[in-house]
Amino acid sequence: MVFSNNNMLFQLMDATTLSWSTRIKGFIICFVCGILCSLLGSLSMFLGKGMVMFAVFYTLGNIISIGSTCFLMGPFNQVKKMFAPTRVIATILVIVLFGLTLFAAVGLGKAGLTLLFVILQCLAMTWYSLSYIPYARDAVKKTVSSCIA
């Protein structure tokens, strides 16, 4: 029996298709878990656990939140949209900053550098998220340039 790549991909996608209500539930559960991780990170700062715990939970929360959208559009579609020409730079920047934040926190244990990467991660996530809203990044650019000028 001969299998083509397209046939195997179709069979895989067909076998893993979720109903719309299951997709919504999965999205909500993952998104809430992502927010809870970020909140736990913030809470850990107040409980004296330090920058490492904050950075790990904050980054994990962002990763889970991005992953939650896989439930809405499917993982293949999500990756395709993430690396579309309009947002490829933002996507790469977000992924690199995830790694740098975790490395600075866990590997180096440098609180100041970790905080810098957390701030940059937040800005990169904002820019990445705005790429899904038509003309939002243009509006932000105009607003920032008018504030600076």
| pLDDT tens, position by position, 60-87 | 999 999 999 888 888 888 899 899 998 8
Q: Residue 109: its pLDDT value, please?
A: 87
What pLDDT is recorded for position 12?
Answer: 58
Q: Return the structure tokens found at 12.
A: 């895989």
Rounded-to-integer distance, Cα 34 and Cα 148, Å: 34
pTM over 0.85: no
Question: 51 is written with which tokens?
Answer: 């920058």
| Confidence band of 22 (pLDDT split at 50, 70, 90) | confident
Q: Give the pLDDT confidence score for residue 10 in this predicted structure.
A: 64
Render 27-65 in DSSP notation, one character per residue.
HHHHHHHHHHHHHHHHHHHHTT-HHHHHHHHHHHHHHHH
pLDDT tens digits, one per residue of 127-140 = 998 888 888 888 98
Asked if the model's pLDDT at residue 25 lies above 60, the reply is yes
**In the prediction, which pLDDT does 107 show?**
93
pLDDT of residue 14 exceeding 80, the answer is no
Distance (Å, rounded) from C-alpha 41 to C-alpha 26?
22
**Residue 66 is encoded by which pair of tokens?**
């991005």
Q: Are residues 59 and 94 in contact, defined by beta-carbon separation less than 8 angstroms?
A: no
Q: Are 50 and 44 in contact (CB under 8 A)?
A: yes
> Over 90: is that where the pLDDT of 113 sits?
yes
- Give residue limits of the domains in the chain: 17-133
| Mean pLDDT to the nearest integer, 21-32 | 89
pLDDT of residue 5: 62
